[in-house]
Structure 1
């Protein structure tokens, strides 16, 4: 689905670049060797976790499953929440086109997926598997999400970031 056809794209036609509060999801997909999947975003030319915004009529698990398939080609199963991101200091962005957004995201993890990861849409220029202790330069909210996953694995406690 193109951005223009998405719920947020249609909303942007009405409100322009004004700040909009957006619910969504992101996910840490972990391989058996502990490496996690990132995609290189074309909007900020930085690495991030797969994820995105809600479409009309979707529940939160459907959002993350759709976004992962659209961005990476993987089919994920058994997604479990481990964190919630809402700190406006990290979840507020002005995109290169001037759109302003504050995200409220449920952050999932899974070790259950099928397929081969590949950059599947115009939002991603590359995908790659990285060790959590050796991540490339990421958007700050994405880096905080990856750090929260490491803490969650150690403590088992839900992370509010």
Structure 2
């Protein structure tokens, strides 16, 4: 498990401070057999979000999402499918409580193939819970848009740009 300070993003932050960084990353909608989706409760925003995270150098995006989900929750995911891409600066520019600013470029994946039970492991989530995708709790706004994109993808099968 890599600490934030040791990650590529953490190393960049040490060099540039809180200024806006362009961050390639991932998020995933993990769906269980009952049709519920997995969300994590984030300690930074005190809201629910999708699992995901930033890419490391020399890593493909599908490797990123598999690594991030394992590091954060202990789940082993397979058969990840890209269903959309989030890049709208109005939604994907995030100011964190510590003042750091990121402009996200996030590949949105989905899977129904996973092993294990989600358990917070690295401090990036306080809790994991399965939710009905049509009755969601208060979420980080850009992650809610990704769930909406996933619902459109499920209804029509086309790649979503948000």
> What TM-score, normalized by structure 1, do the two folds share?
0.98
In structure 1, list runs of 5 or more residues that go unmatched. Answer: none
Give the drift of 1:77: 0.2
Equivalent position of 1:21 in the other structure: 22
In structure 2, list runs of 5 or more residues that go unmatched. Answer: none
> What TM-score, normalized by structure 2, do the two folds share?
0.98
Give the drift of 1:52: 0.4
Equivalent position of 2:144 in the other structure: 143
Give the drift of 1:117: 1.1
C-alpha offsets along residues 63-116 of structure 1, whole Å, 9 cap, x if unaligned?
Answer: 000110111110000000001000111110111111110000100000000011
Query: Structure 2 CA distance, aligned partners of 1:104 and 1:58?
Result: 15
Query: Structure 2 CA distance, aligned partners of 1:120 and 1:88?
Result: 30
Equivalent position of 1:48 in the other structure: 49
Equivalent position of 1:88 in the other structure: 89
Query: Structure 2 CA distance, aligned partners of 1:77 and 1:156?
Result: 20
Query: Structure 2 CA distance, aligned partners of 1:19 and 1:117?
Result: 31
Give the drift of 1:2: 1.1
Query: Structure 2 CA distance, aligned partners of 1:63 and 1:74?
Result: 14
Give the drift of 1:121: 1.4
Runs of 4+ in 1 over 6 A off after TM superposition: none
Query: Structure 2 CA distance, aligned partners of 1:120 and 1:135?
Result: 23
